[in-house]
Structure 1
Amino acid sequence: MSGPGNLAQPLPPLLPGTLGHAGQPCTLGVLGGGQLGRMFVQAAQRLGYACAVLEPESHSPAALACPQHIQTDYADPQGLAQLAQRCDAITTEFENVPAEALHWLAQQRPVAPSAAAVALAQDRIAEKAHFSACAPLSGVGPAPYAVIETEADLHAVPVTLLPGILKTARLGYDGKGQQRVHTPAELQAAWQQLGQVPCVLERLLTLQEELSVLVARGRDGQMVHYPPQRNLHRDGILALTQACPGRLAAGLAERAVAASRLIAAQLGYVGVLCIEFFVIDDGSAEGALVLNEMAPRPHNSGHYTLDACDVSQFDLQVRTLAGLPLVAPRQHSPALMLNLLGELWFDAQGQPRSPDWAAVLALPGAHLHLYGKHEARPGRKMGHLTLTGPTPEQVHATARAAAAILGIAPWP
């Protein structure tokens, strides 16, 4: 099926070590200067590519790792023109860059993911419509929901959707732009508090667990994936990811992977795509899958692939962008990833402190990744810690020891 991510003509691969269109080393560009851009740049540089980052902040993680920093707004015409002039292909590290900027760049250079795919992920209404359209083929759909754009929509909401979660259609991230509501009166108050912008109301579900699946799809339609990983969120922000093969029911894992690959294929997607799922109790032994949302980029829950797999999600992002062969990644170690949020840099009295990295790094299989952010703030992603080991039991034990050292709350 042809989709918005397909390019009209096949493109020759951008091979490592070759010269690009400007007679300079082949250069890959990225819109966005956060940690995902930083890890993309590092993966590209290992293969010998030059990189350029367009990012308005002067000391962003990606810009610190890349000598070519175009410091402009994401929609600045001159900055975009510089990026197109310097680069041979361009990607994005987060989904809230203007889709129009990606559309303009795609007229000049290969861009992946496409502007259409990013625009879909920016709008929960469009995203859920796509999930619903895929559901008859995949057998997996979104939670029951209603679109609220007007007062009439608000008053037409079925009572069966309450209690629910009201989410803004755009610009929600890490739990922002969301409110739980239990009654029609609470729903109306929440919609007014959110500015009466277009929203989606989802029925509140009792979750058994949360999963995510990462797939990578090339321009030729070739696709590879990682096994589903189990995630735990706290206050809307990912706290930890467990990637221990064999710990998830086989049928559930197969359905999640199949649904994720179908969504990517139906979009004609090019790049790395993360699909998030809920598992709810439907009376069956495995539980039922519900689609939550998608991210058109590498994902926080896939950071463990840097240390536990022979090909990381960022390696696959480089390969899909450059048109290189995709190989099925192999996970060589069970892993657990802990997000390191800004509150770890403060003690119980709110005074600044430095986490005890020496004690953490003394643990076997500890892989510390700090992103180079200068200011720690509560809720800000400052880095992550991946624990690997020979068995899931050892990984979990080491992760709990690391959490105790850092002051991260224990998990079930």
Structure 2
Amino acid sequence: MLSVAAAQLGYRTHIFDPHERPCAADVAADFTRAEYDDRAALERFAAACDVVTYEFENLSVGPLEGLGDKLRPGTRSLGVAQDRAAEKQFIESTGGRVAPWRAVESLSDVEAAVAALGCPLVLKTRRYGYDGKGQAWVRSPADAAAAWAAIGAQPAVAEAGMSFAAEFSLIVARGLDGGSAIFPAPRNDHEGGILRTSTVPAGPLVAPHLAAAEPMARAIADALGHVGVLTVEFFACADGPVVNEIAPRVHNSGHWTIEGAATSQFEQHIRAICGLPLGSTALRGSGATMDNLIGDEVARWPDLVAEPGASVHLYGKGDARPGRKMGHVTRVR
């Protein structure tokens, strides 16, 4: 989707990926197959590019540091976002609110966190967690050992379970000049830790939180010196918005912007990293709903493409494994 947006602006894209046939290579001018920590391959790749960007967090920072100013956003955004403890400390340093938490590295740490934070609490591995992976709930002190084992006894954060009315996200684009633009907030509904639906406008459960959430999101982007799209996920709590996590990239909850906003999050990211003016984030209609196609739900595509007003996006990922996001459909009102 980034490659398509770049092509519409006249740019050619070059994909770097360790897989034999990444779906992005189907819509790109060039493709390099190499491991993400192959420094020599990265240097050759960067020499062929004017700007380098990334679209997920599970990358080693060290090999990317040699890319210098070509890498946008930079390694600071990546390093903060890929470690949950560092992320929470950073968010708090910008004035953002997060759930009460503790870093844990042993079962005794988990037990101490239970004593300090109470139950329920959730353990989240510090690295490589997404879509609910690497997480386990402690709903009573007796669950501590099983939860610690469930996450592989890895360094983690213990986070107090939050009571909230809704989840929402703010997708911020920040340009080379430090200017920023925020898309209308979607309300995000999850099933099993996986995003199911994003709805814009987010509605009355979220609207009262936006005046406080938007400055938090901008402060995070500014403190990182971020260039490109940054996503900040929030809980709408009784006493105000609480940051759940950040993603230094385009985000699933922003896929609705392709049809639903004047500028898609993908075009906005390309604009930002290439030094172009940021585009309008205004809604195209009165609102939009994006539904993920997860696992074998992608088999519904013939009916969906026949539905008037439904915009279907299939990712070409191959096997429709359970829990795998295979595509999405957006309906603009």
When normalised by structure 2's length, the TM-score is: 0.94
- Tell me, yes or no, if structure 1 residue 195 matches structure 2 residue 139: no
Does the CA contact (< 8 Å) of 2:166 and 2:205 recur in 1?
no
For residues 27-66 of structure 1, the C-alpha deviation after alignment (integer angstroms, 9 at most, x for no partner) is: xxxxxxxxxxxx1111111111111000111221111111
Match of 1:371? Answer: 315
Which segment is superposed worse, 151-160 or 300-309?
151-160
Match of 1:337? Answer: 290
Distance 1:160 1:246 in 2: 31
Does the CA contact (< 8 Å) of 1:169 and 1:199 recur in 2?
yes
Match of 2:275? Answer: 323
The residue identity in structure 1 corresponding to 2:26 is L
Q: Post-superposition shift, 1:146?
A: 1.1
Match of 2:185? Answer: 228
Q: Post-superposition shift, 1:156?
A: 2.7
Q: Post-superposition shift, 1:204?
A: 1.1
Distance 2:252 2:154 in 1: 28
Match of 1:125? Answer: 85
Q: Post-superposition shift, 1:159?
A: 4.2
The residue identity in structure 2 corresponding to 1:111 is L
Q: Post-superposition shift, 1:174?
A: 0.6
Match of 1:385? Answer: 329
Does the CA contact (< 8 Å) of 1:228 and 1:256 recur in 2?
no
The 3-state SS of whatever aligns with 1:125 is helix
Distance 1:150 1:376 in 2: 36
- Could you tell me which of 127, 135, 147 is aligned with 1:178? 135
Distance 1:69 1:387 in 2: 33
Does the CA contact (< 8 Å) of 1:43 and 1:314 recur in 2?
yes
For residues 212-251 of structure 1, the C-alpha deviation after alignment (integer angstroms, 9 at most, x for no partner) is: 0000111211111112110001111100000126656543
Match of 1:296? Answer: 248
Q: Post-superposition shift, 1:77?
A: 2.2
Match of 2:49? Answer: 87
Match of 1:219? Answer: 176
Match of 2:211? Answer: 254
Distance 2:207 2:152 in 1: 43
Superposition pairs of residues 156-171 of structure 1, within 5 angstroms: 156-157=112-113, 158-171=115-128
Distance 1:323 1:43 in 2: 15
- Tell me, yes or no, if structure 1 residue 242 matches structure 2 residue 199: yes
Does the CA contact (< 8 Å) of 1:365 and 1:388 recur in 2?
yes
Match of 1:111? Answer: 71
Match of 2:29? Answer: 67
What runs of 5+ residues in structure 1 fail to find an aligned partner? Answer: 1-38, 283-287, 346-353, 390-412
Distance 2:207 2:327 in 1: 31
- Tell me, yes or no, if structure 1 residue 49 matches structure 2 residue 11: yes
Highest Rg: 1 or 2? 1
- Tell me, yes or no, if structure 1 residue 153 matches structure 2 residue 98: no
| Paired-residue identity, % | 40
Distance 1:191 1:301 in 2: 30
Does the CA contact (< 8 Å) of 1:280 and 1:289 recur in 2?
yes
Match of 2:58? Answer: 96
Q: Post-superposition shift, 1:362?
A: 3.4
Q: Post-superposition shift, 1:155?
A: 4.1
The residue identity in structure 1 corresponding to 2:74 is S
Does the CA contact (< 8 Å) of 1:304 and 1:337 recur in 2?
yes
The 3-state SS of whatever aligns with 1:212 is strand
Q: Post-superposition shift, 1:381?
A: 0.9
The residue identity in structure 2 corresponding to 1:355 is R
For residues 114-135 of structure 1, the C-alpha deviation after alignment (integer angstroms, 9 at most, x for no partner) is: 1111011000000000111222
Q: Post-superposition shift, 1:265?
A: 1.0
Does the CA contact (< 8 Å) of 2:185 and 2:201 recur in 1?
no
Q: Post-superposition shift, 1:189?
A: 2.9
The 3-state SS of whatever aligns with 1:102 is helix
Distance 1:329 1:194 in 2: 39
Q: Post-superposition shift, 1:361?
A: 2.8
